[in-house]
Amino acid sequence: MPLHIIHLDQDDPKKCTARKIASKGMARLHFNLKKPPRRGYLLDPSSGTILGPDDLPVIQMGASLVALDCSWKRLQESVLEIRSKSPRLEPRTLPILLAANPISWGKPGRLSTAEALATCLVLLGRRKQAEKILSPFKWGQQFLTLNAEPLDAYSNASTREEVVSLQWEFFDKPDSI
């Protein structure tokens, strides 16, 4: 499955998972906001629509998965800019998982770009590709182990709504939902 990353160069290059997976030929980096794929799904933690099995037919027709590599502190402004320049990329968020990367270890939802792309791949039935994406990182296998049960449940769901309800079996539901 083709993977693309819009790289905004806002983080430490030595800790950047996007650069590492791109250097291994596993994803394509885009530094220009006018050049990302025109059709597909943009991973956006604020989207409100979870990536799920309902999205698989579009992916199978050639749509792309596009991750945004930026600082968590500048996420909102970065997402707004990309959405305005690539309106055909549909925003999707991911179900809750725990980060295993050293910067955000154990924090729900604070995934690195590599963890986010691996999650998408598992959800869409591409587990071997997910394992490959995580293989350059010491903590890569730990991400899969730490989240084994929810990843298994999410990947076996038959609808987006099922994925949404399953996450509350593993994580506390916020009062606002």
Please write the tens of the pLDDT for every residue from 79-115.
555 555 555 788 899 999 999 999 899 999 899 999 9
Q: Which of 25-29, 71-75, 107-111, 118-122 reaches the highest mean pLDDT? A: 118-122
Question: What are 42's two structure tokens?
Answer: 């943009």
Separation of alpha carbons 93 and 87, rounded Å: 16
pLDDT (average), residues 165-177: 84
pLDDT exceeds cutoff 70 at 69: yes
Question: What mean pLDDT is predicted for residues 30-58?
Answer: 83
Predicted local distance difference test score (pLDDT) of residue 45? 78
Average pLDDT over residues 125-141: 96
Residue range 143-166: average pLDDT?
A: 96
